[in-house]
Amino acid sequence: MTTPVLQSWPVQREFDPKNMPFRRLGPSGLRVPVFSLGGWLTLGGSVVGDPVKEIIKTAFEAGINMFDTAEAYAAGKSEQEIGRVIKELGLRRTDLVISTKLFWGLRKGPNDGGLSRKHIIEGTQEALARLGLDYVDVLFAHRHDPNVSMEEIVRAFNYVIDQGWALYWATSEWSAREIEEAYHVANKLGLVGPIAEQCKHHMFHRDRPEKEYAPLYKKYHIGTTTWSSLAGGLLTGKYNDGIPDESRFATHSDFFKDTVKQLQSPEGQEQIRKVKELTKLAEEELQTTVGVLALAWVAKNPNTSTVILGASKPEQITENLKAIEVIPKLTPEIMDKIEKILSNAPEPLPTYGRPALDKFGRI
């Protein structure tokens, strides 16, 4: 038997988790930091070269060892930059949890995207080549593909796992019905199903993660790797008085033009009003910022495995990780106050007068 070569670059830095809590990723044995770091729009996109290194170094030295990317982020450059920096910083591969995602593809050919067996296998190989890694820890289906049978999707992800190119597979923005179908097909075929769902979850986006997926947490113990938990920055309060020049909504104005328009609508203004109220609560009762509160609130959710942070500057990581200290301060009283301000809690599923039980069958 030959020992697989885990890494071909020298280790220069030991991982110190500092005060980072770790959670299992869904039902798997994989432990992930409560806060991880993603590369959408930033790493390899608006941030290239040495600043990427500074951001990843800051994250790693603060206890973040999980990095999320996707084939489509900055058209493959995000994977390239993250892979380059891992080697330049001399990080040990076994210390890291690397996830990437397939679906959107990089080229326009009929087989360059989606979830066919062909794209899952070829897309994985191309992603690994860009990352310069032999495997990723978690491979996500970046969206569901209604044009491919679930059996083909499940078999292809299992093939990739059997080759050792990914250790686990997971979904992103799939409906509960689609995730459930994947479980049933995997079960029927004696194959492994997805372990996590990468979903949008923030104070103004709650229905899917908190209501639609509720039965999945109970039945399959899936975990979430949440994205845009600051609503792209809105929940830091930086957009309360307009769009600052250096901010994401300005630097990616085309992509966010609908978001900016929505902010001017009565619904958007109501969100800003809530951000201001939450700011007051954060400052007066928790001596923290509204952004830190927003991140701690998502992390407190028992179904959240990791909150994927986004950062255009190292200082944002340092600031956002203050949320670790705030999670235990979110007492039932504080959570009630937050709920009153948000007033958008999804209706629980009906139980017709019978008590709702938790995932272990307890009241």
Ligand X SMILES: NC(=O)c1ccc[n+]([C@@H]2O[C@H](COP(=O)([O-])OP(=O)(O)OC[C@H]3O[C@@H](n4cnc5c(N)ncnc54)[C@H](OP(=O)(O)O)[C@@H]3O)[C@@H](O)[C@H]2O)c1
Residues taking part in catalysis: 73
Minimum distance of ligand X from residue 256's CB (angstroms): 10
Residue 197 engages ligand X in binding (rule: CB under 6 A): no
Residue 38 engages ligand X in binding (rule: CB under 6 A): yes
Residue 228 engages ligand X in binding (rule: CB under 6 A): yes
Site for ligand X in 142-181 (CB under 6 A): 142, 172-173
Q: How many residues bind ligand X (CB under 6 A)?
A: 30
Nearer to ligand X (CB atom), residue 91 or residue 203: 203
Nearer to ligand X (CB atom), residue 174 or residue 220: 174
Q: Which residue has the tokens 């059997």?
A: 162
Spatial CB neighbours of 299, under 8 Å, sequence gap ≥ 6: 34, 35, 307, 323, 327
Write a three-state SS string for the chain.
Answer: CCCCCCCCCCCCECCCCCCCCEEECCCCCCEEECEEEECCCCECCCECCHHHHHHHHHHHHCCCCEEECCCCHHHHHHHHHHHHHHHHHCECHHHCEEEEEECCCCCCCCCCCCCCHHHHHHHHHHHHHHHCCCCEEEEEECCCCCCCCHHHHHHHHHHHHHCCCEEEEEEECCCHHHHHHHHHHHHHHCCCCCCEEECECECCECHHHHHHCHHHHHHHCCEEEEECCCHHHHHHCCCCCCCCCCCHHHHCCCCCHHHHHHHHCHHHHHHHHHHHHHHHHHHHHHCCCHHHHHHHHHHHCCCEEEEEECCCCHHHHHHHCCHHHHHHHCCHHHHHHHHHHHCCCCCCCCCCCCCCCCCCCCC
Residue 80 engages ligand X in binding (rule: CB under 6 A): no
Minimum distance of ligand X from residue 244's CB (angstroms): 8
Minimum distance of ligand X from residue 21's CB (angstroms): 19
Residue 198 engages ligand X in binding (rule: CB under 6 A): yes
Residue 316 engages ligand X in binding (rule: CB under 6 A): yes
Minimum distance of ligand X from residue 295's CB (angstroms): 8
Residue 248 engages ligand X in binding (rule: CB under 6 A): yes
Minimum distance of ligand X from residue 193's CB (angstroms): 18
CA–CA separation, 322 vs 195, rounded Å?
28
Minimum distance of ligand X from residue 112's CB (angstroms): 18
Residue 259 engages ligand X in binding (rule: CB under 6 A): no
Which tokens hold the place of 98? Answer: 């690397």
Minimum distance of ligand X from residue 250's CB (angstroms): 8
Nearer to ligand X (CB atom), residue 240 or residue 344: 240
CA–CA separation, 299 vs 323, rounded Å?
8
Nearer to ligand X (CB atom), residue 124 or residue 353: 124
Which x/- pattern over 318-347 shows residues binding ligand X (rule: CB under 6 A)? Answer: -xx---------------------------
Nearer to ligand X (CB atom), residue 98 or residue 128: 98
Residue 23: name the closest of 97, 122, 88 by CA: 97
Q: Please, are residues 304 and 330 in contact by the beta-carbon 8 Å criterion?
A: no
Which x/- pattern over 53-72 shows residues binding ligand X (rule: CB under 6 A)? Answer: ---------------x----
- Of the candidate spans 121-129, 179-187, 277-285, 307-315, the one that interacts with ligand X by CB under 6 A turns out to be 307-315
From 139, 141, 148, 308, residue interacting with ligand X (rule: CB under 6 A): 308
Residue 40 engages ligand X in binding (rule: CB under 6 A): yes
Residue 223 engages ligand X in binding (rule: CB under 6 A): no
From 66, 98, 115, 231, residue interacting with ligand X (rule: CB under 6 A): 231
- Of the candidate spans 21-29, 35-43, 148-156, 322-330, the one that interacts with ligand X by CB under 6 A turns out to be 35-43
